[in-house]
Amino acid sequence: MPLGPGTTMDLDRHDFQLTELIERIQSNDNRLVALQIPEGLKMQALEMMDTIETETSAKVILAADPCYGACDLVHDKMGMMGVELVAHMGHSQMNIDSGMPTQFIDVTYDGEPELEPIIPFLEAHRAMARQRMENQPAPEDLSEEEAQDRFMDAVGRLAPLTGTKLGLVGSIQHLHLLPEYFDRLEKAGYEVEIPIGGARLSFPGQVLGCNYSGDDDSIGHYLFLGSGDFHPIGLVLHTGKPLAILDPYSGEAREMSLKHIERILRQRFGLIMACGDAQSFGILIGEKPGQMRRSLALRMKRILEKHGKKGYLLALEHVGPELIDFYPVDAFVNTACPRIAIDDAVRYQKPLITPYELEVSLGEKKWETGYQFDEIP
Ligand code: SF4
């Protein structure tokens, strides 16, 4: 979800790389093409449609529903309209097949923020990582209360660190900056790694709101090139490592507040506890191609049944309070986009938790291993 509503951007400094798309449409002689654009760039959509229709003989349909990621590719409904090619802008290809020929179009931003203001944060975070390396927690018997405290500690994970390297990551429109910043940070005395993640990620250093799979034990802290708190929150929840943020749009240098992460963890704790007495659950299955976790949803239903509880499988394209709050169940487990439960929890009348959180609530997973982020691999 790199370009969301509210992101402050100077659109003239974005490069919307349409040339390759236009060449493909011309060589295929496509007649009907769909354009899918993230929310923050939609105001440019009509201009792009004009450009494509002027340069080619294709007509363009804008897929005007909200789009927050490459998980959300338009699929069969565009096929039913006779669309021959989907042009998906601003996100990279994932390990999913929408069933439609799709061209992914990069959008890059040319801002290069100064490194100097971020250095004090990196120094402090490297010191935290070194301290954590020296005081590796040994496996121990914790009381229930101590285990719950560990769960709510933003950087209290048990996973051992084998190094204190600086992980350099970014959101997609700034990834072209990483090699240059890698060199600059190495010159400034940091041992830097640009992490390479799993199949859901296309580029080194890329992070998604639901996937931080490049993380490894040798990385002790992170620098994120991008704006907003969306990716930083997920990265710290997932890794339990401190994170500095350098915003190429504004040049601002800051850190992800660990207090903010601990507030989220306390909220997750409260929701897990609130689900303890729940007898019936709605289990949400996302219909978007990159959010569909049918097997996970079925596993949740089996686990609930094992504990004598009811689970109803509910499939939705979009998840929102107005679409689920009225069902007569006690709580919901969400297997669609993991960020809905984390970022939008307060919008729902009933507890909305992740599959991992359900397992903690049922005693299938332990508090003391620290919070586990619900990653889509
Ligand atoms: S599943 Fe959610 S976090 Fe992941 S890419 Fe899609 S919208 Fe973003």
pLDDT, tens only, 90-114: 999 998 888 899 999 988 888 899 9
Q: Decide if 11-109 and 116-259 have a common fold.
A: yes
Contacts of 25 (CB under 8 A, 6+ apart): 33, 52, 56, 58, 85
Going from the Cα of 191 to the center of ligand 1, the distance in angstroms, rounded, reads: 30
- Higher-confidence residue: 136 or 301? 301
- The number of the ligand 1 atom at minimal distance from the alpha carbon of 291 is 1
- Side by side, the strands of the sheet bearing 102-105 are 59-63, 32-36, 85-89, 102-105
Contacts of 24 (CB under 8 A, 6+ apart): 30, 85, 103
CATH fourth-level superfamily of 11-109: Diphthamide synthesis DPH1/DPH2 domain 1 (3.40.50.11840)
Instruction: Tell me what pLDDT residue 10 has.
Output: 60
- Does the pLDDT of residue 13 top 80, yes or no? no
User: Is 116-259 in CATH node 3.40.50.11850?
Assistant: yes
Tell me the per-residue pLDDT of 250-260, one tens digit each, with 9 for 90 and over: 999 999 999 99
Average pLDDT, the chain: 92
Pocket lining: 275 vs ligand 1, CB cutoff 6 Å: no
Q: pLDDT-derived band of residue 57, with 50, 70 and 90 as boundaries?
A: very high
What one-character-per-residue DSSP string does 291-355 give? T--HHHHHHHHHHHHHTT-EEEEEEESS--HHHHTTSS-SEEEE-S-THHHHHSGGG-SS-EE-H
Going from the Cα of 22 to the center of ligand 1, the distance in angstroms, rounded, reads: 28
Question: 277-361 architecture in CATH?
Answer: 3-Layer(aba) Sandwich (3.40)
Instruction: Tell me what pLDDT residue 3 has.
Output: 39
Give me the residue spans of the domains in the chain. 11-109, 116-259, 277-361
Q: pLDDT-derived band of residue 17, with 50, 70 and 90 as boundaries?
A: confident
Going from the Cα of 2 to the center of ligand 1, the distance in angstroms, rounded, reads: 9
Instruction: Tell me what pLDDT residue 5 has.
Output: 35
Average the pLDDT over 212-222 and give the result. 96
Q: Name the strand (E) or helix (H) holding 232.
A: helix 230-239
